[in-house]
Amino acid sequence: MTSITARLNDLRAQKRKALVAYVTAGDPHPDRTVELVLALERGGADIIELGVPFSDPIADGPTIQRGAERALAAGTTMRGVLRIASEIRTHSDVPLVLFTYLNPVLKYGLPALAKDAKASGIDGVLLTDLSVEEADRHLEALRAHDLDTVFLAAPTSSDRRLELVAKYSTGFVYLVSRAGVTGERDTLSGSAAPLVQRMRELTGLPLALGFGISTPQQAGEAAKLADAVVVGSALVRVVEQGGDGLEERLEAFTRGLKEGMK
Amino acid sequence: MLEQQPDASGHFGPYGGRFVPEILMSPLDELEQAYRAARQDPAFQAELDRLLKDYAGRPTPLYHARRLSAKLGGAEIYFKREDLLHTGAHKINNALGQALLARRMGKQRVIAETGAGQHGVATATACALLGLDCVVYMGEEDMRRQRLNVFRMRMLGAKVVGVTNGSRTLKDAISEAMRDWVTNIEDTFYVLGSALGAHPYPMMVRDFHRVIGVEARAQMLAATGRLPDSVFACVGGGSNAIGIFHPFLNDRQVKLVGVEAGGSGNGQGQHAARYQTGGSPGVLHGCFSMLLQNDDGQVSLTHSVSAGLDYAMIGPEHAFLHDEGRAEYVSCTDARALTAAVEISRTEGLIPALESAHAVAEAIDRAASAPGQIFLINLSGRGDKDIDIYREHLPELEQDMVTNDLNYRPA
């Protein structure tokens, strides 16, 4: 059992919901990421999505695009992100999901990445532009190193596609709450609940709900539907504001989200 | 067989495919089904044929460039005159096809990306004709380079959205268009302008441009009684090139030559030639193909004097034809393209689009050593849109020159 599954099982046994926090590794600088991840964990994040910046992030809205630009400008590389993961592991057992686009992974070489990621303490991988159809030839390398493979399901996904997403996912399934790119929204989309319901009928895997969740209230609504709530852009925005006491503010913001989920 | 690509999942050999966020996967399935149904529907094809003929100006002529051929003293050079089409380039073939498909699918809102502005103008034109709403994404750097086309799109009723991300060129315009599509999937049709992106786009765009090669092949047989020895076309994503190449794929004796943008040098960021230096297989904008990228898998910035060739990835079918040895890919620098543009302006009275000038340059360089051969060049667009760029790069022409100085070379 991977540490992602163990963590989600524990929470489920306690009838609690998981907070999955996204951070772009290397934003604003690779030297800062470890402390920011530890702040997220202190604030109550149960799982960390460690974003590897990509030059052309088509699934992301402006906030995370800017985060990726800052990280790349600061010299962040895939190797650098794996070093960051190793460093996190010297301080914490928080499950880590490597979250990125396919191209940096292909360039690194998938078998090499799977091996190095596992050795660096990564627990799972989510590639936003890898569909289940194209995944077959890529999954073996990841599974060989006991890495969870998380796939996205969307309100537009056909029933047939949801079945495939359920079949290929391990650890949890990431449900995209709405049509659109990542970013903060005022309300939780009406398309979230039907998607959760459709997916529940297909799998017993924990379901995480993300995209557009940025406030404690929205996190609370999402937690009523799903097993885990993913927050990304709102956290990247806190990082973007920077300044003194960033870790404390990030921790406090995360705690607020977690409170909203109770 | 070469001409039977892609396979059912959209792969040309190892290239192509569909690498997009899950939210787009079912819509792409629907698009593919709608496209295949439309192609089977004689009424759809008849309407497209009618518009291509009566509205866009097809068939375009095949023109024997006798003066240029005589001057070069080798191969006989023929131009396929896509530059004569309505809106000034081949792009209208695809824009009309996809806009008709949008209407057939009941999508009232159309979005497009554009680099040089030709695809944006073609899409805005097709939308005006069919009564569809049109939003065009364009990098701010390209808007600066192609101001006239920005105005043309607005005059045609399209909304032009400037893209300020990244390099502010075609790559960023495609990313922004994809983000719009992800967000407005219900009522929006994305008219992609090159033989790129996720399946079915590379296949669909090629099919709509195949008419170029089908006509040219028949015209060449009628004019000369034989097939050309070489076919030249410029390649950014590669829509005009795949359009003219495809009907010749089984004519193994016909050489197919794709000309990429060699830009201002070999360094990263100085060119857009995927087969020159720095290219390796990768995924961008939904497609697996040859890509200019750094060692860490970040997409490289590119440069070309021609905005339409200024893109980091070559279309997947070209990558396939390259690996199969069926087509060769070479590059042409900014300077050679500018020289070739002046050359055919003065010998033939044809001011080409900067993109097309790249193909012309390669053919000119090979002509002298190919006596008795026939070269076919896809003159994919005319140069009206590029006059400001020509002026910028050829300041010496601001003054009168001896107009018949055929040996003139830009300084």
CA distance B178 to chain A (A): 7
**Distance of CA B297 to CAs A15, A149, B325, Å?**
41, 21, 26
- A233: tokens are 């852009």
How confident is the model at residue B276, as a pLDDT?
83
Of B24, B283, B295, the CB nearest to A103: B283
Rounded Cα–Cα distance for residues B238 and A31 (Å):
42
> How many domains does one find in chain A?
1
ipTM field: 0.95
Q: How confident is the model at residue A219 (pLDDT cuts 50, 70, 90)?
A: very high
Give residue A65's domain range. Answer: 3-260
Percentage of chain A surpassing pLDDT 90?
A: 89
Contact across the interface for B19 and A105, Cβ inside 8 Å? no
Residue A45 pLDDT greater than 60, yes or no: yes
Residue A144 belongs to a domain with what CATH number?
Answer: 3.20.20.70
CA distance A161 to chain B (A): 8
What pLDDT was estimated at residue B225? Answer: 98
User: pLDDT category, A217, cuts 50, 70, 90?
Assistant: very high
Mean pLDDT within A225-243: 97
pLDDT of residue A157: 95
Q: Is the pLDDT of residue A179 over 90?
A: no
pLDDT of residue A137: 80
Smallest Cα distance from B157 to chain A, Å? 26
**What are B165-203's pLDDT values in tens digits?**
877 888 999 999 999 999 999 999 999 999 999 999 999
In B, which residues are within 8 Å of A57 by CB distance?
175
B380 is catalytic: yes
> Is-catalytic flag, B113?
yes
Contact A149, A125 (CB under 8 A): yes
Over range A21-34, report the average pLDDT: 98
pLDDT, position B401: 63
Quick one: closest CA in B to A154, which residue?
B23
pLDDT at A60: 93
Of residues A224 and B142, more confidently modeled: A224
Q: What is the pLDDT of residue B117?
A: 92
pLDDT, block means (10 residues), chain B with 411 residues: 92 97 94 97 98 98 98 97 98 98 98 94 98 97 88 98 88 94 94 97 98 98 98 97 98 98 92 91 98 96 91 97 98 97 96 98 98 98 94 86 59 56
pLDDT in the model for residue B277: 81
Per-residue model confidence as pLDDT tens digits over A126-169: 999 999 988 888 889 999 999 999 999 999 999 999 999 999 99
Distance CA B193, CA B191 (A): 6
- DSSP string covering B56-108, please? I-PSPPEEE-HHHHHHHTSSEEEEE-GGGSGGGBTHHHHHHHHHHHHHHTT--
Question: How many whole angstroms separate alpha carbon B38 and alpha carbon B97?
Answer: 10
Mean of pLDDT values over A165-176: 96
Q: Is B371 on the interface with A (CB under 8 A)?
A: no
Tokens 């379901």 correspond to A207
How far, CA to CA in Å, does A135 sit from each of A131, A140, A167, B16, B62?
6, 9, 11, 14, 46
Average pLDDT, chain B: 95
**pLDDT attached to residue B397:** 85
Q: What is the pLDDT of residues A72-98, one digit of tens each?
A: 999 999 999 999 999 999 999 999 999
Residue B149: Cβ within 10 Å count: 27
- Determine whether the interchain pair A134/B19 forms a contact, defined as Cβ–Cβ distance below 8 Å: yes
pLDDT at A183: 86
In this predicted model, what pLDDT tens digit does every residue of B16-47 receive, in sequence order?
A: 999 999 999 999 999 999 999 999 999 999 99
Whether the CB of B8 is below 8 Å from some CB of chain A: the reply is: no
* Residue-level pLDDT at B405: 58
Full strand arrangement of the beta sheet holding B230-234: B62-64, B76-80, B374-378, B230-234, B255-263, B327-333
Report the 10 Å Cβ neighbour count for A44: 18
Q: What is the DSSP letter of B298?
A: P
